[in-house]
A and B are shown apart, each in its own frame.
Chain A
Amino acid sequence: MPAEGVFSLIWVLIALPLVGAAILLLGGRRTNKWGPYLAILTVSAAAVIGILMLLGMFQDSAEQRTYGQNLFTWVFAGRFQADMAFQLDQLSICFVLLITVVGALIHVYSLGYMAHDENKRKFFGYLNLFVAAMLLLVLANNYLLLYVGWEGVGLASYLLISFWQHKDSAAQAGKKAFIINRVGDVGLSLAIMLLFVTFGSVSFQDVFGSADKASEGTLTAIGLLLLLAACGKSAQFPLQAWLLDAMEGPTPVSALIHAATMVTAGVYLIVRSNVIFTAAEWAAVAVICVGLITMWMGAIIGSAKDDIKKSLAGSTMSQIGYMITAAGLGPIGYVFAIFHLLMHGVFKAGLFLGAGSVMHGMKDNVNMRRYGALRALMIFTSSTFIICYLAIIGIPPFDGFFSKDDIIHASFERSPIIGILAMLAAGLTGFYMTRMVAMTFFGKARWEDDVHPHESPKVMTIPLVILAIGATVGGMSLVWWGNIESWLEPVVGIKTVELPLPSWAYELTTLVLVIIGSIFAWMSYARREVPVEAPHGNLLTRAAREELYGNQVNDALVVAPSFWLSRVLVWFDNRAVDGFVNGSAAFVGGLSGRMRRYQTGFARSYALSMVGGAVLVVLALVLVRVS
Chain B
Amino acid sequence: MNPSNYVILSAVLFSIGTIGVLVRRNAIVVFMSVELMLNAANLAFVAFARMNGNLDGQVVAFFVMVVAASEVVVGLAIIVTIFRTRRSASIDEPNLLKY
Please name the residue on chain B nearest to A603 by beta carbon. Answer: B91
A596 on the interface (CB 8 Å rule)? yes
Chain B residues near A603: list those with CB within 8 A. 91-92
B interface majority secondary structure:
loop
Chain B residues near A587: list those with CB within 8 A. none
Interface string of A587-627 (1 = CB under 8 A from B): 00000000011011111100110010000000000000000
Chain A residues near B5: list those with CB within 8 A. none
Chain A residues near B30: list those with CB within 8 A. 604
A interface majority secondary structure:
helix
B contacts with A, residue count (CB < 8 A): 11
Q: Are B99 and A608 in contact (CB under 8 A)?
A: no
Chain A residues near B21: list those with CB within 8 A. 604, 607
- Nearest-Cβ distance from residue B12 to partner chain A, whole angstroms: 16
**C-alpha gap A601/B99 in the complex (Å):** 8
A-B contacts counted at CB < 8 A amount to 26
- Interface centre among B96, B97, B98, by most chain A C-beta atoms within 10 angstroms, is B98
- Nearest-Cβ distance from residue A589 to partner chain B, whole angstroms: 14
B58 on the interface (CB 8 Å rule)? no
Please name the residue on chain A nearest to B27 by beta carbon. Answer: A603
Q: Are A596 and B91 in contact (CB under 8 A)?
A: no
Q: Are B22 and A596 in contact (CB under 8 A)?
A: no
Q: Are A601 and B95 in contact (CB under 8 A)?
A: yes
Interface string of B85-96 (1 = CB under 8 A from A): 000000110011
Chain B residues near A602: list those with CB within 8 A. 92, 95
Q: Are B98 and A599 in contact (CB under 8 A)?
A: yes
Chain B residues near A611: list those with CB within 8 A. 18, 22
Known: A607-B22, A611-B18, A611-B22. A601 touches B98 (CB 8 A): yes
**C-alpha gap A604/B92 in the complex (Å):** 8
**C-alpha gap A439/B55 in the complex (Å):** 120
Residues facing B in A555-610 (CB within 8 A) are 596-597, 599-604, 607-608
Q: Are A596 and B95 in contact (CB under 8 A)?
A: no
Chain A residues near B99: list those with CB within 8 A. 596-597, 599-601
Q: Are A604 and B22 in contact (CB under 8 A)?
A: yes
Please name the residue on chain A nearest to B33 by beta carbon. Answer: A607
**C-alpha gap A607/B31 in the complex (Å):** 13
Q: Are B22 and A600 in contact (CB under 8 A)?
A: no
- Nearest-Cβ distance from residue B26 to partner chain A, whole angstroms: 12
Please name the residue on chain A nearest to B97 by beta carbon. Answer: A601
- Nearest-Cβ distance from residue A244 to partner chain B, whole angstroms: 70
- Nearest-Cβ distance from residue B30 to partner chain A, whole angstroms: 8
- Nearest-Cβ distance from residue B92 to partner chain A, whole angstroms: 6
**C-alpha gap A406/B96 in the complex (Å):** 100
A604's partner among B91, B96, B97, B98 (CB-CB below 8 A) is B91
Please name the residue on chain A nearest to B21 by beta carbon. Answer: A607
Interface string of B16-49 (1 = CB under 8 A from A): 0010011000000010000000000000000000
Binding site for A on B (CB under 8 A): 18, 21-22, 30, 91-92, 95-99
Q: A599-B98, A601-B96, A604-B21 are in contact. List 6 more A-B contacts (CB 8 A).
A: A601-B97, A602-B95, A603-B91, A604-B30, A607-B22, A611-B22
Binding site for B on A (CB under 8 A): 596-597, 599-604, 607-608, 611
For this complex, 16 residue pairs linking A to B, each with C-beta atoms less than 8 Å apart, are A596-B99, A597-B99, A599-B98, A600-B95, A600-B98, A601-B95, A601-B96, A601-B98, A601-B99, A602-B95, A603-B92, A604-B22, A604-B91, A607-B21, A607-B22, A608-B22
